[in-house]
Amino acid sequence: MLFNSIFAVACSLAVPAAAQLATGYQLGPPTSSSAKWAVKVCDVTDYGAVADGVTDIGPPLLAAFTACKSGGIVNIPLGTFAMATWVTLDDGVAWGINFEGTIVRTGTAGGHMIVIENSSDFELYSSRSSGAIQGYGYEFHSQGEYGPRLIRLINVEYFSVHDIALVDSPAFHLILDTCTGGEVYNMIIRGGNEGGLDGIDVWGFNIYIHDVEVTNKDECVTVKNPSNHILIENIYCNWSGGSAIGSLGLDTDISKITYNNIYTWSSNQMMMLKSNGGNGTVSDCVFSNFIGHSNAYSLYIDAYWTSETLQAGDGVLYTDLTFSNWKGTCADGAVRAPIMAICPTGQPCDGITIEDFAMWTDTGSSEYYKCENAWGSGGCLVGGSAHTAYAITTQTITAAPSGYSAAKMPNDLASGFAITASIPIPTVPTTFFPGVTPATARAYP
């Protein structure tokens, strides 16, 4: 695969700080789904799959892939298919999976139910916007356990994942691991109301994630290390943990990440950058047009995040980051500051810009901002170019900022989903951010 060489080239591109996706590179599969259908169709029912909710689809899915891995479509038709054994689909070219029916987990092994690895020109989608994986994670979670993750793409280039639902994973839902030139859109993810059930975790180069709704109590859409040129927009964190960059440690190399049009409701945070020790940089990133309602934290940089084991090093450098046009409310701004920038003493943040920030508190009549070792402009940041360590500073706000009122989404959940009962499979939505039409229409209106 080309990831390592492309990643190295992209790191040297002369582009402005607000850059999103890299120009001059393929984004998504170059071969259309219709062209793949015309080459070959490998229907899993021709290889032994039965839509009875009992027969294991694992071996038939692997056999169908083997027959179509050099070009074509693996078709999973309407119906309910059980999955008892997991599959790794390795080294495919110009192929796809059309996912019409529902796969329900019946196996109990760990790992990942479906791994797509070392593939190029790949599409995982539902032409009817009806495909789903039901992980029945509650069967593990109610016993205080975790199980397999649903889908992992490893070293995949020029791909798309769209128009499917991922539901109640026993662990993470979708992982994009060292991927290049991909697009993820028109998806809904619903997990239980506890940690460890990440929505989308991504690291790689030139990836566009948009028009996705996530419910869980951990990561909504989160960027991991190393990454650059990733655009994430029109995201609906609907009773979630919220979006993040991290956790970060040694050899952090993240740049040119854009989060835009992020709506977050009743979540842990709107956006968190998190590390504990380590080294390297997070640079040239933009976080624009955020709407939040009733979240615990809002804008949160934590370089001493105690949920992560302390890493060697002076700390990750957060530099040249812009947070603009944030509106809405936090749950209690006197308890958890809506601006909290706690940077490493050994590597203070610099070049941080906070502008058009108007967040107010649901509870009480005041809130405060909290900064430490954080240089820049806006909020409690210290201005100037000293870039040295300083003690915690706070700023108290006693009146609602002008323009904090913000639109709400019509489908904000009243609560998260219990970890002791099955989560219903939802329909892929048609809206993900107030007043914004999805960039791509659903495959099946």
User: DSSP letters of 151-214?
Assistant: EEEES-EEEEEESEEEE--SS-SEEEEEEEEEEEEEEEEE-BSSSS--SEEEEEEEEEEEEEEE
DSSP conformation letters of 33-87 = HHHHHHH-EEEGGGGT--SSSSSB-HHHHHHHHHHHTTSEEEEE-SSEEEE-S-E
Q: Which residues lie across from 318 on neighbouring strands?
A: 282
Q: Distances in Å between the alpha carbon of 372 and those of 279, 357, 369? A: 18, 19, 10
Q: What was the pLDDT predicted at 183? A: 98
Of residues 210, 241, 240, 207, the one with CA closest to residue 224 = 207
Q: What was the pLDDT predicted at 328? A: 98
CA angle 50, 51, 53 (to 5 degrees): 105
Fold of 19-234+413-438: Pectate Lyase C-like (2.160.20)
Q: How far is CA 361 from the centre of its chain?
A: 26
**Among residues 218, 284, 302, 320, which one is catalytic?**
218
**Which residues belong to CATH 2.160.20.10 in the chain?**
19-234+413-438, 240-409
333 SS3 class: coil
CB atoms near residue 427 (< 10 Å):
11
**Do 212 and 200 contact (CB within 8 A), yes or no?**
yes
Peptide bond into 385 cis (omega under 30): no
| Strand blocks (E) in 102-156 | 102-105, 112-117, 120-125, 131-134, 149-154
Q: What was the pLDDT predicted at 15? A: 33
Q: How far is CA 362 from the centre of its chain?
A: 27
Q: What was the pLDDT predicted at 324? A: 98
Q: Which residues lie across from 292 on neighbouring strands?
A: 264, 328
The predicted model scores a pTM of: 0.95
Rounded Cα distance, 155 and 178, in Å: 5
**Among residues 201, 293, 320, 350, which one is catalytic?**
293
Radius of gyration of the chain, Cα coordinates, nearest whole angstrom: 22
CB atoms near residue 24 (< 10 Å):
8
Rounded Cα distance, 181 and 161, in Å: 12
Q: What was the pLDDT predicted at 229? A: 97
Q: 240-409, which class in CATH?
A: mainly beta
Tokens describing residue 45: 């029912």
Q: Distances in Å between the alpha carbon of 129 and those of 134, 149, 163? A: 15, 22, 5
Q: Distances in Å between the alpha carbon of 46 and those of 74, 82, 86, 176, 380? A: 11, 16, 19, 30, 63
Q: What was the pLDDT predicted at 48? A: 98
Q: Is 218 in the active site?
A: yes
CB atoms near residue 276 (< 10 Å):
22
Q: What was the pLDDT predicted at 201? A: 98
Q: How far is CA 365 from the centre of its chain?
A: 33
- What are the residue ranges in the chain where pLDDT is below 50? 1-19
**What counts of helices (H) and strands (E) characterise the chain?**
4, 27
